[in-house]
Structure 1
């Protein structure tokens, strides 16, 4: 588990989003973290400390006592690895930015900032409060102090707290040691759709799960991530495309903008495009569709991107892998058709150092891929 052996101090302030904290604590603990709650008095008026005690398995801190809890967790020898403030109100943002520590949460924040430990702040409030000029300036001040701000979702006139998955990802990133810090990772993911007529498309069964797992793992490890696909990931840069040609245009544009350090071609990129027929092809009679071969997008990266990873599907994957390695591809993932859309899969990592078999979830496979990249190819 990615947060095993880590202690996270979670500060809860007086936003109605405090009612989501129980679920957030559970999400962190499922990743292996020990979670210690600390609440401001305003937060205690919204959710009872006993709820967080139950969720965390630790007595919630509601006041600083003779045990000097802020030093125990956030001092120079403190036992917390990260201070997460979620939700964080406009009041708490401004107090921390100005060095005011008159609540349990702000006192812990002042101590944590003095220690230079990782701090993550997750705002939640009405949108009018969030976009206040002084609050915006205070958020910039906090960023300059090294605090990570996980921005809210602007919905229904409110700056709603970020989702638990995104918050957990940021915690994982800050505690991973960030071996990919400063590295740019470009990933293509999921299926392409080639129009047959105005109604029908030619596509594959690819779900994009492997590409998303790779994007999240690269983010956890500290990389600057760009993913080109038709879906959405909650971190990094999303570029949305549908067809192989639009995916190729996007890959070309990203490489021309600045060559990434790692390119992973995890998408089921179309090998063929049908002759497009305007309108709708009438049903009820046999139809012949001519399929025209499409260029290989991998060629855009070979010889340009330092580390290039390809996926190859089917029985010929191993033969193709040898050919790709000779052409300059860094690593090839041998894939099986039954991996498409599945939660778990069987893959073979092939590079100049040999082969490695990986069985497990898409996240476990993504971690194995990056561990091999870091160990052998960077």
Structure 2
């Protein structure tokens, strides 16, 4: 039986290459459902046009979600067996740790903390953002709640995680999708 992975993607440069992460997760045996933050959705819509969103829908076999459904509407996605937040931004990490749920993406991950789901977050930050005083608290809070935050932040838990880069010098092609997928349980 194939298990379902919600890939929750924030507006950071690897989101422009989200198909790479989807294909890697599918190759690992996951049925992938894509949820974008509103900003990441806008990037896909405005930079790639409706064609990009349609390609992502075809690739996953599911609608691409970015907003809450109405209470009277049925869920269009199967229930998740795991959550992967990638790329995770400073904004999402700090809001998530503080319990904000003002977007569908944040609502899913804040609720996910109370569900028996494995949750992995793979950040994409520059080293200036990584110096923000709210980040260590957010990462510590999320790790204490059971989230595998894959950030090389000088802690034993972060060893081998994503290493922040100099501003405007990130290497999107080197974004370690495999690191995040290896942190999840096997798909089958």
SS, match of residue 129 in structure 2: helix
Larger Rg: 1
User: 1:50 maps to which residue?
Assistant: 54
User: 1:165 maps to which residue?
Assistant: 178
| Deviation, structure 1 residue 126 | 2.3
- Residue correspondences, number: 166
SS, match of residue 102 in structure 1: coil
| Deviation, structure 1 residue 144 | 0.5
Structure holding more helix per residue: 2
Seen in structure 2, the aligned counterparts of structure 1 residues 90 and 154 have a Cα distance that, compared at 3 Å, is: closer
Kept in 1: contact 2:10–2:92 (CA 8 A): yes
User: 2:164 maps to which residue?
Assistant: 154
User: 1:145 maps to which residue?
Assistant: 145
TM-score by length of 2: 0.78
Identify the match of residue 64 of structure 2 among 56, 60, 65.
Answer: 60
Kept in 2: contact 1:13–1:42 (CA 8 A): yes
Query: What do the CA deviations read for 1:310-345 (whole angstroms, capped 9, x no partner)?
Result: xxxxxxxxxxxxxxxxxxxxxxxxxxxxxxxxxxxx
Pair 1:10-2:7 in alignment: yes
Farther-moved stretch of structure 1 (135-144 vs 153-162): 153-162
| Deviation, structure 1 residue 160 | 6.0
Kept in 2: contact 1:16–1:46 (CA 8 A): no
| Deviation, structure 1 residue 68 | 6.3
Measure the CA separation in 2 of the matches of 1:103 and 1:19.
20
Kept in 2: contact 1:153–1:160 (CA 8 A): no
SS, match of residue 116 in structure 1: coil
Measure the CA separation in 2 of the matches of 1:9 and 1:167.
13
| Deviation, structure 1 residue 153 | 3.0
Q: How does 1:185-334 map to 2 (within 5 A)?
A: none
Measure the CA separation in 1 of the matches of 2:91 and 2:74.
23
Pair 1:30-2:34 in alignment: no
Measure the CA separation in 1 of the matches of 2:125 and 2:17.
14
User: 2:81 maps to which residue?
Assistant: 81
Seen in structure 2, the aligned counterparts of structure 1 residues 163 and 86 have a Cα distance that, compared at 3 Å, is: same
| Deviation, structure 1 residue 131 | 2.5
| Deviation, structure 1 residue 80 | 0.9
Measure the CA separation in 2 of the matches of 1:118 and 1:137.
21
Kept in 1: contact 2:125–2:165 (CA 8 A): no
Question: Unaligned stretches of 5+ in structure 1?
Answer: 74-78, 178-378
Structure holding more strand per residue: 1
Kept in 2: contact 1:154–1:160 (CA 8 A): no
TM-score by length of 1: 0.41
- Of structures 1 and 2, the one scoring higher in RCO (CA 8 A, sep 6+) is 2
Kept in 1: contact 2:130–2:164 (CA 8 A): no
Seen in structure 2, the aligned counterparts of structure 1 residues 68 and 144 have a Cα distance that, compared at 3 Å, is: farther
SS, match of residue 120 in structure 1: strand
Cα-Cα RMSD: 2.4
Kept in 2: contact 1:124–1:160 (CA 8 A): no
Seen in structure 2, the aligned counterparts of structure 1 residues 141 and 159 have a Cα distance that, compared at 3 Å, is: farther
Measure the CA separation in 1 of the matches of 2:19 and 2:28.
15
Measure the CA separation in 2 of the matches of 1:110 and 1:142.
10
